[in-house]
Structure 1
Amino acid sequence: MKLTCLALVFSSLFGFASLGYAQNNASQDGVKVGDMSIMRKFAPTGALESQAAAQYAQTMQQAQKQRALGPDDNPQVMRLRAIAKKLIPYALKWNERSQQWKWEINLIGSKQINAYCMPGGKIAFYTGILDTLKLTDDEVAIVMGHEIAHALREHGAERAGKANVANVGVRLFEMWAGAKGYDPNLAGGVAGGVAKFSMLAFSRGDETEADVVGLDIAARAGYDPRAGVALWQKMGMVSKGAPPPWLSTHPAGKDRIAEIQRHFPEVMPLYAHAKGVSVSSLPPYQTNVKGIAPVIYSAK
């Protein structure tokens, strides 16, 4: 019981150490999110970008050897790069470092339903996500904007920083517990469990932030934010049996849809402006899969 109480103290301290957000009101339109977490300061961002570039190059080389790397003249590769070309100019304001990134985007032949953007702007899509979900260009833009947002918001450095702090915290907790006469191994196990579940929650927060920032980027580039709703409805069709949200680093699909819809008042005017029309004149978003109703937004 005493160790449980001590673990609660550890949890509170770990949570407090991870706070580092202040409202960012630099932009008068679009979404508003907090400043990037101070926890990324506990990890070398430059080194992470160099490591990511090396890992990305190695992954592409392996894919090429396996004849799984999409060639430059592949229609899907050209499509992805065209969408990225529209998104990236609207991504740069979110991170000054991104203006010096050497952006790359490639397609890997695999059934994986996955895509990512590594620190430094290294983007990869798998054919599985394009083919299985039958993504429209708007939906590709939502996925790509989300992944780019992870890199822009330095979530990789943030997670590494949190892990470093958590490891130090667990060791200190073990030492303190031993000095008080408790079993250090038991104390470390309890504290480690608390840190693990705290990290899951933080990762879900990163996912939500990436969703929101990605919507802003996609909307400014002229891609319909309502495609995010259809995207997660599609994901729901293929991700049955996924773990409950409190045990996953990703929020539940219905939660993501609700969050996306909550930000429609901020991003739909951006999309309408990019299209040169009024919000009220925008037709509903209709995806390409039967059973998914048109997504409607009515400005109040």
Structure 2
Amino acid sequence: MKILAILRPRAQLAAVCGAAVLAAGCAAVQTTQSGAVGVERKQYMSSLVSEAALDQEAAQQYSALMTQARGQNALDVNSAQAARVKGIAQRLIAQAGVFRPDASGWQWETHVLKSDEINAWCMPGGKIAVYSGLIDTLKPTDAELAAVIGHEIAHALREHAREQVSQQMAANVGLSVLSAITGSQASADLGSSLTKVMFTLPNSRTHETEADRIGVELAARAGFDPAAAVTLWQKMDAASSGGGQPEFLSTHPSAQTRIADLQAIAQQMMPLYQQARK
């Protein structure tokens, strides 16, 4: 959950892709349906960064990370936490088809990593990790935890990582360089880009807003109170004001701005929640 804000306006993205369309094969694609929340922004992806290739790279990196965590006795150490997170994630995943039907065929995985860090993420293709520090520090309710996991799932459904990798390639690499990259070098370049996007570079404010909106709708449809997204971020704000600011909040818009946005989304999604609870 890299909620670090770098504003990358739609006009800037269009200009970058427009200038590099011949060099990087950048084209508008539709990754998800709009849902009840109305996420309809066009996304620009490079043909050199296929969904299948990125999903394969993500699966390999995720497997390596989980193997490393297991070796450090940091993988699903608390069985109750692991079962709780997996159960909540499964309910959210069951609703993912509202935004993209093909997600039902993804090889979803969910694990809890032992770490004091307040963090969570979902890699392309549905590879989820929640850090124990988030659970131990924030002590979220199930609905609040659903807000976190739903937000991360939304990033994967919307293919934000692929979009960022595409932007990098479109902005920084010309056709002559790209055409020279073949075989293992191409794989290494893609893997390096994915690692940066997932664990170093910030998500844009637009990406975060989309993940908030989709995540709240997923939670509501799964029978979790959408208003819990508000109380979750109030807890996040409290954690950051204590001097131990979560990594994913470091340059994000103010908590009050985000909370106000989430309050409006939660109210909009309340009928879906009420229907799911019947």
Aligned counterparts of 2:41 and 2:104: Cα–Cα separation in 1: 18
Could you tell me which of 58, 62, 71 is aligned with 1:65? 71
Could you tell me which of 139, 149, 155 is aligned with 2:154? 149
Could you tell me which of 54, 62, 65 is aligned with 1:48? 54
Instruction: Mark the CA change 1:221 to 1:253 in structure 2 (over 3 Å): closer, same or farther.
Output: same
Instruction: Mark the CA change 1:267 to 1:12 in structure 2 (over 3 Å): closer, same or farther.
Output: closer
1:131 paired with 2:136, answer yes
User: What SS class does the counterpart of residue 106 from structure 1 fall into?
Assistant: strand
Could you tell me which of 245, 256, 259 is aligned with 1:257? 259
Aligned counterparts of 1:207 and 1:26: Cα–Cα separation in 2: 16
**Equivalent in the alignment of 1:214:** 215
Q: Higher relative CO (CA 8 A, sep ≥ 6), structure 1 or 2?
A: 2
2:33–2:98: 8 Å Cα contact kept in structure 1?
no
User: What SS class does the counterpart of residue 125 from structure 2 fall into?
Assistant: coil
Instruction: Mark the CA change 1:36 to 1:164 in structure 2 (over 3 Å): closer, same or farther.
Output: same
Could you tell me which of 253, 275, 278 is aligned with 2:277? 275
Instruction: Mark the CA change 1:13 to 1:154 in structure 2 (over 3 Å): closer, same or farther.
Output: closer
**Equivalent in the alignment of 2:204:** 203
Q: Which amino acid aligns with 2:58?
A: A
**Equivalent in the alignment of 2:85:** 80
Larger of the two Rg values belongs to structure? 1
Aligned counterparts of 1:97 and 1:155: Cα–Cα separation in 2: 16
1:228–1:260: 8 Å Cα contact kept in structure 2?
yes
Q: CA deviation at 1:44?
A: 2.0
Q: CA deviation at 1:253?
A: 1.8
1:218–1:225: 8 Å Cα contact kept in structure 2?
yes
**Equivalent in the alignment of 1:228:** 229
User: What SS class does the counterpart of residue 129 from structure 2 fall into?
Assistant: strand
Aligned counterparts of 1:14 and 1:78: Cα–Cα separation in 2: 40
1:110–1:127: 8 Å Cα contact kept in structure 2?
yes
**Equivalent in the alignment of 1:286:** none
Instruction: Mark the CA change 1:106 to 1:201 in structure 2 (over 3 Å): closer, same or farther.
Output: closer
Q: How does 1:91-106 map to 2 (within 5 A)?
A: 91-106=96-111
Instruction: Mark the CA change 1:233 to 1:18 in structure 2 (over 3 Å): closer, same or farther.
Output: farther
Aligned counterparts of 2:95 and 2:269: Cα–Cα separation in 1: 13
Q: CA deviation at 1:262?
A: 2.0
Q: Which runs of 4+ in 1 moved over 6 A?
A: none
2:29–2:45: 8 Å Cα contact kept in structure 1?
no
Instruction: Mark the CA change 1:131 to 1:162 in structure 2 (over 3 Å): closer, same or farther.
Output: same
Instruction: Mark the CA change 1:201 to 1:113 in structure 2 (over 3 Å): closer, same or farther.
Output: closer
Q: Which amino acid aligns with 1:64?
A: R
Aligned counterparts of 1:40 and 1:100: Cα–Cα separation in 2: 23
Q: CA deviation at 1:92?
A: 2.2
- TM-score scaled by structure 1? 0.69
Q: Which amino acid aligns with 1:155?
A: H
Aligned counterparts of 1:208 and 1:26: Cα–Cα separation in 2: 13
User: What SS class does the counterpart of residue 39 from structure 1 fall into?
Assistant: strand
1:142–1:227: 8 Å Cα contact kept in structure 2?
yes
Deviations 1:103-125 (A, max 9, x none): 11011111010011110111111
Q: CA deviation at 1:96?
A: 3.6
Q: Which amino acid aligns with 2:271?
A: P
Aligned counterparts of 1:128 and 1:156: Cα–Cα separation in 2: 24
The two structures, once aligned, show a CA RMSD in angstroms of: 3.0
Could you tell me which of 105, 115, 118 is aligned with 2:120? 115
User: What SS class does the counterpart of residue 231 from structure 1 fall into?
Assistant: helix
**Equivalent in the alignment of 1:16:** 15
Q: How does 1:170-189 map to 2 (within 5 A)?
A: none
Unaligned runs of 5+ in 2: 1-9, 19-27, 177-200
2:109–2:128: 8 Å Cα contact kept in structure 1?
yes
User: What SS class does the counterpart of residue 70 from structure 1 fall into?
Assistant: coil
User: What SS class does the counterpart of residue 128 from structure 2 fall into?
Assistant: strand
Instruction: Mark the CA change 1:36 to 1:140 in structure 2 (over 3 Å): closer, same or farther.
Output: farther
Aligned length: 231
User: What SS class does the counterpart of residue 124 from structure 1 fall into?
Assistant: strand
1:41–1:158: 8 Å Cα contact kept in structure 2?
no
